[in-house]
Amino acid sequence: MINVTGSLLERWKDVPESDWEDWHWQIGNRVMTYDGLKDILQLTPSEVIGVKRSKGRLLMAIPPYWLSLIDPMRQTCPIRRQAIPTAEEFEVSLNDMEDPCGEDKDSPVPGLVHRYPDRVLLLATEKCAMYCRHCTRRRLVGSETHLTSRQNFEQAYDYIRSNRRVRDVLISGGDPLMLPDETIEDILKNLRAIPNVEFIRLGTRMPVTVPMRVTENLISIFKRYSPIWVSLHFNHPKEITKRCKKACDMLADSGIPLGSQTVLLRGINDRPSTMRRLMHELLKIRVRPYYIYQCDPAKGISHFRTAVSVGINIMEKLRGHTSGYSVPTYVVDAPGGGGKIPVAPNYVISQAKGMFTLRNYAGNIFTYYEPAEEGQMQRVVPNQNKQTKKEVKTAEAKTAA
Ligand code: SF4
């Protein structure tokens, strides 16, 4: 039997561990209806409306594992808010867009997005284990009906093969780990057979939402087509459970590099302390924080969006204050399809010929003198950054102590 620790987990206490640990069982037992959910959780009026209306695109689907992480006493539980639709999803704001990243216009063949010169995005499926309420691709995912066809894949392979500049393929969706192992192997085999493809990445949230999906067989497939890089999607430290760690350990122990993308979400991870904790916990499970995304203006998710200044403030509190490995790049995906734009606090105070005035993470100001250009005299300036003798002595005394 499963190890019952949380109050919601009680509900599945009679489920044999072999079932609980089977990802097919987790998918087959997702809670997808109002009647199913109201028996498990006391819903707020807004959730009742949201759950009842979320049909068609981005329906509700919550695996038992994810449900077991919900704190039933907290309506603001970050696990709950990412999974349960609310009435706010049906409010469309002025600047909301159907396709905020402009992917459809950069799609040369169905299921493929080609925006940057040397890399493409292969949308391998429209299904996910859980439909995140903040999903930016909600126009495409979540209907559970329309499957990507074999013909689409063939067209995508032909396109990649005939565009020799494409060296990097990101397999995403939806969640490609929703596909059967044989299909995943088939995709990897076909991509590896294309001479210009050097780098294959797979974007998935399943090691977070249904960690049981990481099986020995899946790992052996990844190893056969190595190197495969895996991009995960974590938004809150609560998602990093022992079970999730086990899945990430299996991947990392097999030599699969792991990165994480995080979406900045109002009321979920918009406090610097929460984000710092998340980044630290990721490093502990050998997942390198890669991006923090500003939440896109997709239709119906404006209640998750924050001001850009919130993200900049988070970066200010990370850079220099903690290990560089736990500092991802904060990006805004340019609305309409301009790609990712890095946004950061401004560390350059001023710039003049041959010199930069910079500030560090603690607010101290420094001048950096650039080398002279070829054929010009090196400018001789007093070294303002040099410590005084007294400062050196104080530092030495502190070290000796
Ligand atoms: S796993 Fe990714 S694609 Fe699927 S619903 Fe969540 S954010 Fe969207």
**What is the full per-residue pLDDT of the chain (401 aa) written as tens digits?**
444 444 687 888 899 999 999 999 999 999 999 999 999 999 999 999 999 998 766 899 999 999 999 999 999 999 999 999 999 999 988 888 888 888 888 899 999 999 999 999 999 999 999 999 999 988 888 776 655 778 889 999 999 999 999 999 999 989 999 999 999 999 999 999 999 999 999 999 999 999 999 999 999 999 999 999 999 999 999 999 999 999 999 999 999 999 999 999 999 999 999 999 999 999 999 999 999 999 999 999 999 999 999 999 999 999 999 999 999 999 999 998 889 999 999 999 999 999 999 999 999 999 999 998 877 766 555 555 544 455 545 544 654 55
Atom 6 of ligand 1: nearest residue by CA position: 132
pLDDT value of residue 220: 98
The number of the ligand 1 atom at minimal distance from the alpha carbon of 174 is 3
Distance between CA 316 and CA 297 in Å, rounded?
Answer: 24
Distance between Cα 361 and ligand 1 center (Å)? 34
**CB of 135 closer than 6 angstroms to any ligand 1 atom:** yes
Catalytic status, residue 57? no
pLDDT value of residue 291: 98
Catalytic status, residue 340? yes
Q: How far is CA 277 from CA 66, 252, 328, in A?
A: 20, 21, 13
pLDDT value of residue 382: 54
Distance between CA 175 and CA 305 in Å, rounded?
Answer: 23
Residue type for 5, please? T
Atom 1 of ligand 1: nearest residue by CA position: 205
Of these residues, 11, 115, 277, 317, which one is catalytic? 115
Catalytic status, residue 132? yes
The architecture of the domain spanning 104-342 is Alpha-Beta Barrel (3.20)
The number of the ligand 1 atom at minimal distance from the alpha carbon of 204 is 1
For residue 348 the two structure tokens come to 């350059």
The number of the ligand 1 atom at minimal distance from the alpha carbon of 134 is 7
List CB contacts of 25: < 8 A, sequence separation 6 or more.
Answer: 15, 19
**Residue ranges of domains in the chain:** 9-75, 104-342, 348-400
Atom 5 of ligand 1: nearest residue by CA position: 131
Distance between Cα 204 and ligand 1 center (Å)? 8
Distance between CA 311 and CA 345 in Å, rounded?
Answer: 9
Catalytic status, residue 296? yes
**CB of 177 closer than 6 angstroms to any ligand 1 atom:** no
Distance between Cα 128 and ligand 1 center (Å)? 6
pTM for this model (two decimals): 0.90
- For 246, the 3-state DSSP assignment is helix
For residue 206 the two structure tokens come to 């399943």
Catalytic status, residue 137? yes
Distance between Cα 230 and ligand 1 center (Å)? 15
Catalytic status, residue 116? yes
For residue 226 the two structure tokens come to 């190595």
pLDDT value of residue 14: 92
Q: How far is CA 49 from CA 56, 78, 91, 133, 142, in A?
A: 15, 19, 12, 14, 18
List CB contacts of 195: < 8 A, sequence separation 6 or more.
Answer: none
pLDDT value of residue 2: 44
Q: Are 237 and 265 contacting, i.e. CB atoms less than 8 angstroms apart?
A: no
Classify each residue of 375-397 as buried b or exposed e, where b means 16 or more C-beta atoms within 10 Å of its C-beta.
eeeeeeeeeeeeeeeeeeeeeee
Distance between Cα 174 and ligand 1 center (Å)? 6
Distance between CA 218 and CA 180 in Å, rounded?
Answer: 10
Distance between Cα 132 and ligand 1 center (Å)? 5
Angle at which helix 181-192 crosses helix 150-162, to 10 degrees, equals 20
pLDDT value of residue 392: 43
Of these residues, 99, 175, 270, 296, which one is catalytic? 296
Residue in 123, 83, 79, 119 with CA at minimum distance from that of residue 99: 123
pLDDT value of residue 8: 81
HEC assignment per residue over 288-357: EEEEEEECCCECCCHHHCCCHHHHHHHHHHHECCECHHHCCEEEEEECCCCEEEECCCCCEEEEECCEEE
pLDDT value of residue 306: 98
pLDDT value of residue 28: 97
Catalytic status, residue 353? no
Distance between CA 339 and CA 341 in Å, rounded?
Answer: 6
Q: Are 166 and 206 contacting, i.e. CB atoms less than 8 angstroms apart?
A: no
